[in-house]
Amino acid sequence: MKSTDNYYEILEVNENASIEVIDKAYRVLAKKYHPDVYTGDKKEAERIMKKLNEAYDVLSDESKRSNYDFILKKKKELDSINKSTNYSSTEDNSSEKSSINNNQYENDTPLNNPSKYDKENFVVDTTFMDDKQKKKIEKKLQERYVEAYDNYLRSRGYRLKYKWTFKRILNVFLTIVCVLIIFTILFFIPPIHEYLINLYNSNIILKVFVDTIISIFSTIGTIFKTTI
């Protein structure tokens, strides 16, 4: 068996393999490499069996496998980025250095370096959870992995751009509303109210800014009233 961290390769099955195929592959390999029957190095057999058990434990569980597939997909995206980085280098020395650095980064991903990124955050035992809990846990795990994945890209100097989804726009809007509510409440506390008024009167830039904001909201309010 070749050395690999890919659970599908460990069990020698396709990524689209059914649970029946995975179960059969595990049984065949476990029978072949079990320390009691393996004719080679017993320590090597124990190492292989440990990997087989780990791979089977994840791929035989629907929730764990779904989460693992998501992580594996992200790792492949990182591998693709690393390869394109290698090809884009124009100088021999810098290309060699880039290749070394990329190999280091490949081994530093959340999937390959669980001790650094705490693999417990990405694989959780969901055996005794209902479907609702499993989906909730899976969503949280994916969010944590995406965060680690984004941090990894930033550490390499990539600038990340995020699409303006409805959820993201809604979060920004709610944040602005919360800030305005808090500011409004603070504004009517006498000491703070007096301080803000004095600051407004003494700072020309702030006064222009506030007047502009008030003017914009007044215009929006007027337009809203005329359309009703």
Residue 48: closest CA among 38, 58, 57: 38
Q: Measured between alpha carbons, how far is 13 from 19 in angstroms, rounded to an integer?
A: 10
Whether pLDDT at 206 is above 50 = yes
Q: What is the 3-state secondary structure (H, E, C) of 93-147?
A: HHHHHHHHHHHHHHCCCCCCCHHHHCHHHCCCCCCCCCHHHHHHHHHHHHHHHHH
- The DSSP symbol for 160 reads P
Res 6: pLDDT: 86
Torsions phi, psi for 158 (to 5 deg): -80, 140
Q: Which pLDDT value is given to residue 175?
A: 92
- Phi–psi pair at 160, nearest 5 degrees: -95, 135
Task: Determine the Cα–Cα distance for residues 124 and 118; give it in Å rounded to an integer.
Answer: 11
Closest residue by Cα to residue 83 from 61, 106, 60, 67:
106
- Per-residue pLDDT band at 124 (split at 50, 70, 90): low
Please, which pLDDT band fits residue 196 given cuts at 50, 70 and 90? confident
- Integer CA distances (angstroms), 18 to 15, 48, 61, 65, in order: 9, 22, 11, 11
Q: What is the pLDDT of residues 64-119, one digit of tens each?
A: 888 888 888 877 777 776 666 555 544 444 444 444 444 444 445 444 554 444 44
Q: What is the pLDDT of residues 47-57, one digit of tens each?
A: 889 999 989 99
Per-residue confidence band for 162, with pLDDT thresholds at 50, 70 and 90: low
15-43 pLDDT, tens digit each: 888 999 999 999 999 888 888 888 888 88
Write the DSSP symbol of residue 156. Answer: T
Lowest mean pLDDT among 38-47, 109-118, 159-168, 216-225: 109-118
| pLDDT score at 163 | 67
Architecture of domain 7-155 in CATH? Orthogonal Bundle (1.10)
State yes or no: pLDDT of 205 exceeds 80. yes
Domains of the chain, by residue range, sit at 7-155, 166-227
Q: What's the chain's average pLDDT?
A: 75
